[in-house]
Structure 1
Amino acid sequence: MSSPEAAGSTNARPHNASGPAVDVVVVAAGSGLRMGGVEKGLLPISGRPALSWSLDAFAADPRVQRIALVVGAEQLVAYATLEWLPERVVTVVPGGATRAASVLAGIAALVDAPGVAGDVLLVHDAARPLLDAATLDRVIVAANVYGAAIPVIPIADTLKRVAVGEPRRSGGTVDRTALVAAQTPQGVAARHLAALSEALRTASEESTDEASLLEGLGVEVRLVDGDPRLRKITIPSDIALLTSLASAQQEHAPSAAARALEARITAAGSSLRVGWGDDAHPVGSAGTLILGGETFPGSPALVGHSDGDVVFHAVADALLGAARLGDLGRLFPADGRTPQGVASGELLAEARRRASEAGLTPLWIDLTVTAKAPRLAERLDAMGASIAAALGLSAEVVSVKASTGNLIGDEGAGRAIRCQVILLAEHAPD
């Protein structure tokens, strides 16, 4: 590849994502005059460099293939040697004297960088750290469909016009009903990238965003919902506000395992499979109850050919169903070929082995145990951990719930215990 026009190729598709391949230019080359000349990308936000927040948000989206980081020339070595840069940052280059020149430098760097050209290019301000996945998705989708897109938020403050020649006198109130505030990332489809590159070359110093250049070219710029938290670091007080917002965001953020699962599900696309499991056994009068691999002393075992663990049975059934391998009864018939009292953990292990041979990998499990007794609330996490261990999963992707049955049916009356499971899995193509 040797030109921005080559970067506009629409032939390439990411190898691990469903949807358009995305390239990103992150601009961190501003002067930071209102911050006292401090490099804004390295300022701490809730204990992390500001830049790391948005880079991690891009890296968490499987559609994002390559990131070019544009920095001030004097900061080039410092940024290029940072250990926390995601692998998808394929190049770190010096910016220009203007924003337009810096963006153009990032685009040119992607042309020469390893990998294939994206279907969508995003340009993002490094000084906007709190990029959320939903806003990122809206921009990518809209830019790919309409040609260009930017995130915007309503303007809450009343706007005043300054009197001509009298900066301290109001010249009237501006009608804000048709106004919104623009944010980043701003997206452009590859088919408009060559034209944008040319516009960037001739842009004036007053040019503040790519959307205005695209509008001047007659390209439709789609407005999508932004996020108030995606505010820009401009003055020192912004650091305290963004730190507070980031701390709140971390409290409610999904774990690393959940984020990895979400990315995997997005990438899996049509290879996802769903399995359903349902098993119930009557309550016996002897032995010790086993549910989800956990024993419940003082509660009698369930009646069955095996040890009666309805949770493991239902999970195994869901796994076999997602793999189109029939049900547990077909695999382990109660006709003498399966030993009496066999541990349900062995049945689940065999179901896992068969499903794996069929190319199936479980991703998420959600189940409900319905039992009048014993009380299960304090044991749900332990049951989830046992299920996760049996399937080689993180306990964070196994959800175990309990219900008393509300006095309805055999389960509600205490005559039986039931487990119902839904399982999400990825199926590898043959």
Structure 2
Amino acid sequence: MDSYTGPRVAVVIVAAGSGTRLGAERPKAFVTLQGLTLLERSLHAVRGMRHAADPIVVAPAELLAEAAELSERASGRPVQVVAGGATRQRSVAEGLAVVDSSVEVVLVHDAARALAPSTLFDAVVDAVVERGYGVIPGLPVSDTVKRIGADGIVHETVDRSALAAVQTPQGFPCEQLLTAYALAESDETDDAGLVAAAGFRVDVVPGDAHAFKVTTPWDLRRAEEMLTGSRSPRIGSGSDTHAYDPAAELWLAGLHWPGEPGLAGHSDGDAVAHAIVDALLSAAGLGDIGGVFGTGDPRFSGAHGDVFLTEARRRVEEAGFRIGNVAVQVIGNRPKLAGRRAEAEERLSAILGAPVSVGATTTDGLGFTGRGEGLTAQATALLLG
């Protein structure tokens, strides 16, 4: 948010692998999962973080232009995209080479772990800041593990209580990670291995079952099933009404409308964004925009709609839901939305990581909106478990 005072964070998203085991015709990060590529889903998780974070995407050299387009669409702004190397470690090094000198914490995340939630990213950052050294998420190993020889003979049963299945994002103080890469003499299987080899401490924090790695066709089916959800869908509705204020600039549906009268309000008066926020919070049982953000909080004076939408999405996902789709209708005489409907839908969909449809109507001269005194927005949101 505009009052953010936390650490400067960069997230290196590794999307340069070929993914041959997945059996797809394209590199794994560019495979589609319910309408969005694995890369886009990873970037949506970064966008939903409570901590402000700058993503850096490492992609195959031949797909840099496509990666840049997907990244900007998912992030709502241009994203640094660099070409990967021959190995994962080399690819991460290419990403680290463009990390800004002011960054304090670096997360490294595999785009193939596309369902890792924003809350996991934030938890890793929090732990790095609190402890001052590397932190990696991991899950307990539930299967019995055997150590076997080259001949296939079982030699011993490994004590699984001392094992963890490690995930990403892995987080480190920036200086420690850069030092570890500068000292690297051989390839390690993950960044934590390099950091530990350089003499720095690394801790494991609780991981998340959603952060599994999509490696095989079976993994992709599992991801599809998880996105379908086991809980019943939930629907919420929201509305917002603002009077016109000719002295203000108009912001509506996340877009600036030059030459149109603005809307009165404590923030930028974006009735579309506010109605969507109410619908999302309602569906998740999290209250309403006034209760969550406050109607007079000075932090949100003049704040644009994407601030509220991003935070609402984070709260919804933290509650264990995924946004299925949103429909919103604007009721008023102006502005004329038809010419910018597609632009508005693309902007809102990118922020929420889900399809958003925008419609408009008038009241044939009747009532508050019909008299041209202001406009109303009504939204409906579908959440999936």
TM-score bucket of the superposed structures, by smaller chain: 0.5 to 0.7
Contact 2:116 2:212 in 1 (8 A): no
In structure 2, the residue matched to 1:347 is none
Compute the displacement of 1:29 (Å): 1.0
CA distance in 2, matches of 1:227, 1:88: 28
In structure 1, the residue matched to 2:66 is 78
Compute the displacement of 1:396 (Å): 2.5
Compute the displacement of 1:15 (Å): 5.5
CA distance in 2, matches of 1:124, 1:52: 13
In structure 1, the residue matched to 2:37 is 49
Contact 2:236 2:280 in 1 (8 A): no
Q: Which amino acid in 2 is paired with 1:133?
A: S
Compute the displacement of 1:75 (Å): 2.0
Contact 2:61 2:83 in 1 (8 A): yes
- 1:35 is the counterpart of 2:17: no
CA distance in 2, matches of 1:172, 1:22: 43
Contact 2:139 2:207 in 1 (8 A): yes
Instruction: Sort the Cα spacing of 1:139 and 1:250 in 2 relative to 1 into closer, same or farther, 3 A.
Output: farther
In structure 1, the residue matched to 2:297 is 427
Work out the number of aligned pairs and report it: 266
In structure 1, the residue matched to 2:137 is 151
Q: Which amino acid in 1 is paired with 2:148?
A: V
- 1:105 is the counterpart of 2:94: yes
Q: Which amino acid in 2 is paired with 1:195?
A: T
Q: Which amino acid in 2 is paired with 1:143?
A: V
Instruction: Give the alignment of 1:180-199 within 5 angstroms.
Output: 180-199=164-183
Compute the displacement of 1:23 (Å): 0.5
Contact 1:28 1:72 in 2 (8 A): yes
141, 147, 157: which one aligns with 1:161: 147
Instruction: Sort the Cα spacing of 1:422 and 1:121 in 2 relative to 1 into closer, same or farther, 3 A.
Output: closer
CA distance in 2, matches of 1:43, 1:96: 20
Compute the displacement of 1:360 (Å): 8.3
Contact 1:148 1:221 in 2 (8 A): yes
Q: Which amino acid in 2 is paired with 1:219?
A: F
Contact 1:46 1:244 in 2 (8 A): no
In structure 1, the residue matched to 2:127 is 142
CA distance in 2, matches of 1:217, 1:237: 36
Secondary structure of residue in 2 paired with 1:110: coil
Compute the displacement of 1:118 (Å): 2.2
In structure 2, the residue matched to 1:69 is 57
CA distance in 2, matches of 1:204, 1:218: 15
Compute the displacement of 1:60 (Å): 1.4
The answer for unaligned runs of 5 or more in structure 1 is: 1-13, 258-352, 363-387, 401-420
Instruction: Sort the Cα spacing of 1:79 and 1:223 in 2 relative to 1 into closer, same or farther, 3 A.
Output: same
Contact 1:59 1:88 in 2 (8 A): no
Instruction: Sort the Cα spacing of 1:250 and 1:198 in 2 relative to 1 into closer, same or farther, 3 A.
Output: farther
TM-score, normalization by structure 2: 0.60
Compute the displacement of 1:78 (Å): 2.6
Secondary structure of residue in 1 paired with 2:99: helix
Spell out, residue by residue over 1:301-342, the C-alpha distance to the aligned partner (whole angstroms, 9 max, x if none).
xxxxxxxxxxxxxxxxxxxxxxxxxxxxxxxxxxxxxxxxxx
In structure 1, the residue matched to 2:186 is 204
Instruction: Sort the Cα spacing of 1:399 and 1:99 in 2 relative to 1 into closer, same or farther, 3 A.
Output: closer
Q: Which amino acid in 2 is paired with 1:157?
A: D
Q: Which amino acid in 1 is paired with 2:170?
A: Q
Runs of 4+ in 1 over 3 A off after TM superposition: 249-257, 359-362, 391-395, 397-400, 421-424
In structure 1, the residue matched to 2:196 is 215
- 1:23 is the counterpart of 2:10: yes
Secondary structure of residue in 2 paired with 1:109: coil
CA distance in 2, matches of 1:211, 1:255: 42
CA distance in 1, matches of 2:95, 2:153: 42
Compute the displacement of 1:219 (Å): 1.7
TM-score, normalization by structure 1: 0.54
Spell out, residue by residue over 1:128-165, the C-alpha distance to the aligned partner (whole angstroms, 9 max, x if none).
010112211210101122221110001111111112x3
Query: RMSD between aligned alpha carbons?
Result: 3.6
Identity percentage over the alignment? 33
Larger Rg: 1
203, 207, 223: which one aligns with 1:226: 207
CA distance in 1, matches of 2:213, 2:237: 26
CA distance in 2, matches of 1:34, 1:104: 24
121, 129, 136: which one aligns with 2:106: 121
Instruction: Give the alignment of 1:239-250 within 5 angstroms.
Output: 239-248=220-229
390, 393, 396: which one aligns with 2:279: 396
